[in-house]
Structure 1
Amino acid sequence: MKVAESVEVAETGPTRADRTVSRRVLVGSTIGSAIEWYDFYLYSTASALVLGPLFFPNQSPTAGVLASFATYAAGFVARPLGGVIFGHFGDRIGRKSMLVLTLIIMGTATFLVGVLPTYEQAGVLAPILLVLLRVLQGIGLGGEWGGGVLMSGEHAPLNRRGLFASFPASGFPLGLFGSAVVFRLVSQLPEDQLMTWGWRLPFLASIVLVFVGVFVRLGVTESPEFVHVRETGGRSRVPLTGVFQQGWAPVLRGAFASLGLAMIVSIYSVYLLSFASSGPHDGQGAKVLNGLLIGALAEAVLLPVAGLLSDLLGRRPVLLFGYTVCALVSLVAPQWLLSGDQTLIVLTFLLAMGIGHAAVYGAISAFLIDMFPPEHRYSALAVTYQLGATAASFGPLAAVAIAGSVHTATPGILLLWGCLAAAAVAVAAGRIPRPGEVSARPVRQEAERTGTA
C-alpha cells in the first residue's frame, strides 16, 4: 500500500469499523474500566471509613485520617509511573495486551489488600504492605486509563469519537458505585465484625471480577489506528520523546484540564465523604454513601450523553460547563451534606458528580486524544492525565492538614476552586484540534519524507 493510500485509510478507517467489532470493543473497555475503578476506589472508600483505625491506630483521629489519605495519595503518585511504562509498550506493542496486563495487576493487588494483617496483628509491617499494594494499584490504573479510552476512541468514527471514548469513562462511576454498594452492605454488620473481617470481603471479591474482565478483554480487536502506525513503520523507539517534541502547550493544557477533573473526585467522593460522615446526625455516614451511590449511577447514564454533546457542540463548551457546575455546587455542598436531609445530600452528588463531573469526564478523553498523534498517543495520555490526577490526589490530604482539628470544609473547597479555575483557563486558551486533524499528521509527514504522497 502506498503512503498516499495510507492517508486515506488513516482518515476514514475508523468510520468503516464493523458495528459488531465496535460494540465488542466498547463493552470490553467499559467492563474492564469498571472493574479497575472498583478495585481502586475500594481503597478510597475504605480510607474514609475504616482503614485509619485498622492500620494507623496509634494516632489522633485527625492524624489517622491524614495517614489513610496519604496512602490513598500514594496510589495516585504511582499512576504516572504506570502510565509511562504501559504507555511506552502500548505505543510500541499495542493497546490490547497492555489492557489485559493492567487488569491483572490491579486485581491481584486489590485481592491482597483483603488478606493483609492489620497493625494489631503485624505492627508497622501492616501499613508498609498496605502502601506497597496501593502503589501497585496505582501503577496498574496508570496504564489502564489511557489504553481503555484509546481502544474505544480509535475504533470510533471521527465524528463520534467523544461518544465512543466516553464509554470506558463510564467505568469510573460504575466502579465507584460498586465499591460504595459493597461497603454500604458490609457496614450493616456489627462494628466488631466489620472491623475484624467484614471490611475484607469487598477486596477479596474483586478476584472474581478480574477473571470476567480478562476474558472479555481478550476477545477485543487491536486499535485500527495503532495497527496502521505499525504497518507503516510509524512507531517511535521511545514514544515519550515524541510527546515533548510536539511541544509543551498540549501537555500543559492536558495536565491542567485533567487536574480539574480529578480534583472534583478527590474533594467530592473522598474529602467531603469523610467530612460529612462525621456529622452530628444519626446515620450520617449511611446517608452520604446513599447520595454518592445515586450520583454515581446518574453519572454512568449521563457520561455518554456528555460525550455525544462534545461531538455535536465541541469539547470546550462541555468541559467548561462541567467545571462551572462543580464549582457552584461546592458553595452549598458542606451545608447540604451536614444537614442530615437525605434529599439535599442526594442533590449534592447528583449535581456535582451526576452532571458536573459527567460533563467533564465525558468530553476530556476525546479532548486529549484529538491533541496527539497515534504513534505516541498512549504515552501522551499518561503524561497529561496522570500528572493532573496525581496532583489532585493530594487535595484531601492538604485540606485535612490545613483544617487541623477544626471541622471545616473551607480548605477543600478553596483547593477545588483553584484547580477548576486553572483547568478552565487551560481549556479556554488556545485552539482545539478538530477530530482526526492531528491523527493524520504523522502519515502525511511520512509521505512527504518518502515522496510517495
Structure 2
Amino acid sequence: MAKSDVPETAPMSEAEYADQLKRATLASSLGSALEYFDFALYGLCTALIFNTLFFPQDNPAMATVASFATFGVGFIARPFGGLIFGRLGDIIGRKWVLVVTIILMGGASTAIGFLPTYDSVGMLAPILLVIARLVQGFGAGAEQTGSSVLMAEYAPVKQRGFFAALPYIGIQAGSLMASVAFFLLTLMPEKQLLAWGWRIPFLASFLLILLALFIRMHLRESPTFVELKANDQVAEHPLKELFSTGMPGLVAAFGMRMAENGGSYMLQTLSMSYVVAVAGSNADRGVLSWGVALGALVGLFTVPFSGALSDRFGRRVIYRAGSVFLLLFAFPAWWLLSLGNHYIAVAVVTLGVGFGVNFMLGPQCAMFPELFGARHRYLGVAMARELSAVVAGGLAGVLGSYIIAVSNANWMLMGVYMTVLAAVTTLSTFMVPETAGRDLTRLEDAVRLPENERGDVTTRVPGVADTLGYQSVAASN
C-alpha cells in the first residue's frame, strides 16, 4: 500500500512516527520561513521601492505614507484569517488548513512579483498591491498558529517544548534571508533595481511554496485530531466553545504576548526610529538594521534552547525569566539607546531580542497549544496570537512613535512603556498552571472557569491511550 493510501486513523509504527515527526518539523519550519521572509522583505521594500513604483510621485511624502498603509493592511487581515482558518482547523483538521494557508500566503507573495506599476496601469497598481497584501495577511493569520499546534500535537510529550519551538527557527531564518536578499538588491544599479530587480525575491518565494506544499501533502493529520475524529469528538462550533469556556486561557495568553510581541516591535522597529531621532543627520540606518539581523541570528539558538529548558524546568519559569529580563532591561536599554551610539544600539537590540524576547517565544510554542482543549485549540491559539498582536505590536508602533515625537525622544517614557508591557506579561504567567507535559487529548482548557460557570465536559478523548501507541499520555495539571 502506498503511503498516500494509508488511512489517517491507521496506527503508526515507531519508524513511521519518526518519519512523520520529521515531515511535520520541515513543513512547519518552511512555512514560518516563508511567512517571515515575505513579511520582512515587504517591510524593507515599503519605504524604498513600493512608494516609488506603486503610487503617484507628485507628493513623495504622501506616497511613502500610502505605501506604509498597504503594509499595515496585512495586520488588519491577520485576525480575520486566524478566526476563519482557526475555526476550520478545529473542524476539518490541522493539515488541510496549513495546505490552504501556504497556498494563499505564498501565492499572494509571488503575485506581488508580477504586479504592474503605477506608470503602467495608474491607480490599479496600488489597488492590486492592497489586494495581494490582504490575501497574504489573511493566510498568515493562521499559518504560524497551525505550525505550533501541529508540532505540539506531534511532538513526544517529554520533548514537546523543544520540538514545538523548532518551526520558530523559520521566523529567524526568514528574517535573515530577507535581510540578505534586500542587501543584495541594493548592490544593483538603481535603474535595474526599480525596473525588475525588486521582483526577483518575491518570485523566488514560489520555490519555497512548492517545497512546503509537497511536504504538507505527504504529511498525516496530527494524532490528536485523528483521535477526535475517530471518536466523534470534533467540535461543530469551536468559536462558541472558546468564548463560553476558554476565555480565562485566552485572556492569560493575551497578557503573556504583551512583552513578547510588543517588546519585539519596540526593540526591532521603534529603537531604530528612536536612535535616528537622537542622532539626527549622523544616523546610519544601515548599521542600525544589523541589530535586527543579529537578534534573529541569536534567536536561531535561543528559541529552541529555551523551548528545551521549558521541558526540564517548566514553561512558566522560563517564560517568566524572559519577561523579567525585559522588565529589568527596559530602563538601561532605553538610556543606552539615548546615547545615539549606533554600535551600542545594535548590542541593545541584539541582547533584548535574542535573549529577552526569544526566551518567551521558545516556551510559548508549546505552552499556548497546551492552554487550550483539543476541540478548540487551533482557534484558541490563533485568537490569542492575532488579537494580541494588534494591541501589543500595532499599538507599540503608534503609541511609541507618538511618545518619541511629543517628548523629544525622552528615554524614561520609553522605558516606562516597555516596563508596563513586561509587567503585564510577568503577572499573566501567574494566571496559568504549569502546562508542561499536559495531555493534549484533554477537552477542557488548562485555565478553567469556576465549576458553576462551565458546562460538563468529557475529560479527554475516549480510548486514546489504546491507539496513540507512540505518544505517552502525561498527567494533566
TM-score by length of 2: 0.81
> How does 1:192-271 map onto structure 2 within 5 Å?
192-271=191-270
CA distance in 2, matches of 1:378, 1:321: 26
Q: In the TM superposition, what is the alpha-carbon distance from 1:400 to its structure 2 partner?
A: 3.1
Instruction: Tell me, yes or no, if the aligned pair for 1:251 and 1:384 is still in contact at 8 Å.
Output: yes
Name the structure, 1 or 2, with higher relative contact order (CA <8 Å, separation 6+). 1
Task: Rate the CA distance shift 1:412–1:335 in 2: closer, same or farther, 3 A.
Answer: same
What residue in structure 1 maps to residue 398 of structure 2?
397
Could you tell me which residue of structure 2 aligns to residue 353 of structure 1? 353
Contact 1:334 1:409 in 2 (8 A): no
Query: CA-to-partner distance for each residue in 1:124-153, whole Å, 9 max, x for gaps?
Result: 443333232222111111111121011111
* In 2, Cα distance between equivalents of 1:272 and 1:65: 20
Q: Conserved in 2, the CA contact under 8 Å of 1:109 and 1:134? A: yes
Q: 1:449–1:265: structure 2 CA closer, same or farther, 3 Å change rule? A: closer
Q: Which residue of 1 aligns with 2:299?
A: 299
TM-aligned CA distance change 1:14 to 1:171, over 3 Å = farther
Any conservation in 1 of the 2:441–2:461 contact (CA below 8 Å)? no
Distance change >3 Å, CA 173–CA 235, structure 1 → 2: same
Aligned length: 441
Counterpart in 2 of 1:4? Answer: none
TM-superposed deviation, 1:350 = 2.4
- Tell me what 2:176 maps to: 177
Question: What is the one-letter code of the residue matched to 2:245?
Answer: Q
The answer for unaligned runs of 5 or more in structure 1 is 1-8
1:420 corresponds to which letter in structure 2?
A
Letter in 2 for 1:287: V
Letter of the 2:104 partner, please give it.
I
1-structure distance, mates of 2:385, 2:219:
24
Contact 2:275 2:340 in 1 (8 A): no
Amino acid at match of 2:181: V
After TM superposition, give the deviation of residue 375 of structure 1 in Å: 1.4
Judging changes above 3 Å, is the alpha-carbon distance between structure 1 residues 43 and 409 closer, same or farther for their aligned structure 2 residues? farther
**Cα gap change, 1:441/1:238 in structure 2, threshold over 3 Å: closer, same or farther?**
closer
Instruction: Name 2:471's counterpart in structure 1.
Output: none
Q: Which stretch has the larger CA shift, 218-227 or 38-47?
A: 38-47
Question: Deviations 1:152-187 (Å, cap 9, x if unpaired)?
Answer: 110112222211111112211111111111111112
CA deviation profile, 1:369-409 (whole Å, cap 9, x unmatched)? 11111111001111111111122224223433554498738
* Identical residues among aligned pairs (%): 31
- What are the Cα deviations for residues 329-372 of structure 1, in whole angstroms up to 9, with x where unaligned? 55435854974544x34422321222122111101122211111
TM-score (norm 1): 0.85
Query: Does the C-alpha gap of structure 1 residues 415 and 196 become closer, same or farther in structure 2, counting only changes over 3 Å?
Result: farther
Against the structure 1 CA distance between its residues 158 and 446, is the aligned structure 2 distance closer, same or farther, given a 3 Å change threshold?
same
Report the Cα distance in structure 2 between the residues aligned to 1:85 and 1:170, rounded to whole angstroms: 26
Q: Structure 1 residues 273, 424: CA separation in 2 closer, same or farther (over 3 Å shift)? A: same
CA contact (8 A) 2:266 2:400 kept: no
Give structure 2 stretches of 5+ with no counterpart: 1-8, 446-455, 466-477
Q: Which shifted more, 33-42 or 221-230?
A: 33-42
Partner of 2:453: none
- CA distance in 1: counterparts of 2:280 and 2:289, whole angstroms: 16
Question: Residue type matched to 2:26 in 1?
Answer: V
Q: Which residue of structure 1 lines up, in the alignment, with residue 437 of structure 2?
A: 435
What letter matches 1:384 in structure 2? A
> Is the contact made by 1:374 and 1:439 (CA closer than 8 Å) also made in structure 2?
yes
* Equivalent position of 1:94 in the other structure: 93
- Cα–Cα, structure 1 residues 265 and 51, in superposed 2: closer, same or farther, change >3 Å? farther
CA distance in 2, matches of 1:53, 1:334: 36
SS at match of 1:151: helix
The structural deviation recorded for 1:37 is 1.9
Deviations 1:201-244 (A, max 9, x none): 22222112211221222222211011011101111111111112
* Matched letter for residue 220 of structure 1: L
Greater CA drift, 154-163 or 330-339: 330-339
Provide the rounded CA distance (Å) in 1 between the counterparts of 2:407 and 2:198.
28
State the AA in 2 paired with 1:419.
L
Distance (Å, rounded) in 1 between the aligned partners of 2:58 and 2:310: 49
1:235 is paired with a residue of what secondary structure?
coil
Instruction: Give a deviation string over 1:399-430, Cα, whole Å, max 9, x none.
Output: 33554498738576654443333222222234
For residues 52-451 of structure 1, the aligned pairs below 5 Å read 52-55=51-54, 57=57, 61=61, 66-274=65-273, 276=275, 280=280, 284-331=284-331, 332=333, 335-336=336-337, 339=340, 341-342=342-343, 344-391=344-391, 392-404=393-405, 408=409, 415-437=417-439, 439-441=441-443, 445-446=457-458
